Each structure stands twice: as C-alpha cells, then as structure tokens.
Amino acid sequence: MSQQGKLELAAFELEQVHKPIDSDKYRKIKQQVNRIALGSILPLLLLIVWQILGDADIISSLLFPTPLRIANAGIRLIQTGELLDNLKISVVRALSGFVLGGSLGLAFGVLVGLFRKTEKALDPTVQMIRMVPHLAIAPLFILWFGIGESAKILLIAKGAFFPLYINAFVGIRGVDNKLFEVTRVLDFNRWKQVVKLILPAALPNILLGVRISLGVSWLGLVVAELMGSTAGIGYLMSDARQFSKTPVVFVGILIFAIFGILSDSLVRLLERKWLGWRESYKGR
C-alpha cells in the first residue's frame, strides 16, 4: 500500500473512532438544552401573564408588583451593595447550620441504623423533638442563647438534623441482608462491612437526606433571621415589609429560590457522579 493510501486509511479509522464519541456528546448536550427549555416554559408564561395583568392594573401593584419592578428593585440593591452584604451573612448562617445539623444527623442516623440498642435508646426522643415546629421553639432559643448568631445557627441546625438522620437510618436498614452473607464468606470484619458495604449501599438515601436538609436549612434561615436579626436576606425582607416595599420582598423570595435550586442541583450532580453505577427508572 502506498504512503497516501496508508494516510487515508488512518484518517478513516480515526474518524470512525471519534464519531460515536462526538455523537454521544452531541446527544447529551441536546438533552440538557431540551430539559432547560422545557423547564423554562411555565415560568416564562407566568412572568409574561403577570406583567400584562400588572400593566393593565388588573392586579394590585402593591401586593403583586410587576416582574420589571422587581427586577429594578434587585438591580438597585446590587448597585448599593446591600444585597451582596446581606446575602453573604445569610449564606454563612445557612451553611453553618447545615454543616452542624447535617453532620450530627448523619452520625446519629448511622449509629441508630447500625445498633438496635442505640435505636431503642435514642430514636423515641429524636422523633419527639422532630415534631416540635420551628416557630414554637424559636422563642426558647432566644431565651437560652440570646439574639446573636448562636441561636440562629442552632435553629437552622435543628431543621437540618432530621432529614439526614432519618434517611441515613432508613438507608442502612434497607441494605439487602444477602449482601451480608457474601461479606461473611469473604471474611469481612465489622469495620470493613460498614465501610465497604453498608455506607455505599445507603449512599442514595444519605444523598437524598442531604438534598432535603439543604432545603430545610434555607427554610430555617427565614425563621432564624426574623429572630431580632439586623442583617441577612430575611431581615431585608422583614424591613421591606414594614415599609411596604413589596418588590424588595419578592427579590428576597427570588434569592431564596435561586440558592435553593442551586444547592439542590449541586447534590444531584454529586448523585450522578457517585451513583452512576445504579440502573434505575429514568421516566418517559
């Protein structure tokens, strides 16, 4: 075969190797674009109808300011630096409460899931505390810890604790018992069972608990920042409500929604990365 023929053959083989990869990459990008476009239809329609009804004075501009007024209020808050300053404080509070409550919830969930005696000793008390609403316990937190950062972070941590506790417990108890028989055959000790079998098998439930805990942390942040706070997105909303600055209140709601969906998307990304081995129903 001539040199030219060899070059043509090599180019053809290279094209065949890369074609499936490029095609697969294109398909994934197309799926992501379609997913984003499909998810944007309803919000865009609502915003358009909302703007039209507001411009026509069919709905109250005080109670439901138009999307353009809300956007202008957000731009003003960004320009003055007020939004960024309060957002930093809120993010630190939410993450601090989530890390504290979530880590404790995971630790207690693992202990209760692994040991029946621990379950009998701790679970009834934990379930009783879980039923106490945030608003009911907030005055006690103020009385015990004052109106400083400790009370706010602990209130957020209380909410973040229970989803991870419950999901870690359920995930561990849901591990297939037949897998334990395999580990006995392989002569795994207790520690190796926990690290190599129990925790990986419970990881889907644990990550679900992380998603729920993050959401609850943002919800708890609103309650926490109404407890005599002088900074934060919740305080910004409360202050705006007192002076009838409804667009600012909607900006605060939008901030909570955006950061809530971003944190949830981050955990879902970790799920796809760490749980790619699972074969499950994806929906039609």
DSSP string, 43-78: HHHHHHHHHHHHHTTSS-TTTS--HHHHHHHHHHHH
Q: Name all contacts of 113-121 with Cβ < 8 Å and 24+ positions apart.
A: 113/168, 113/169, 113/170, 113/171, 113/172, 113/173, 113/198, 113/202, 114/172, 114/194, 114/198, 119/169
Q: Which pLDDT value is given to residue 204?
A: 86
Tell me the average confidence (pLDDT) per consecutive run of 10 residues in the chain, 284 residues long. Answer: 50 49 66 75 85 82 83 88 87 90 91 87 86 77 77 86 91 81 77 80 87 86 76 82 84 86 84 69 48
Q: pTM to 2 decimals? A: 0.75
- The C-alpha atoms of residue 204 and residue 196 are separated, in whole angstroms, by 15
- The C-alpha atoms of residue 259 and residue 243 are separated, in whole angstroms, by 25
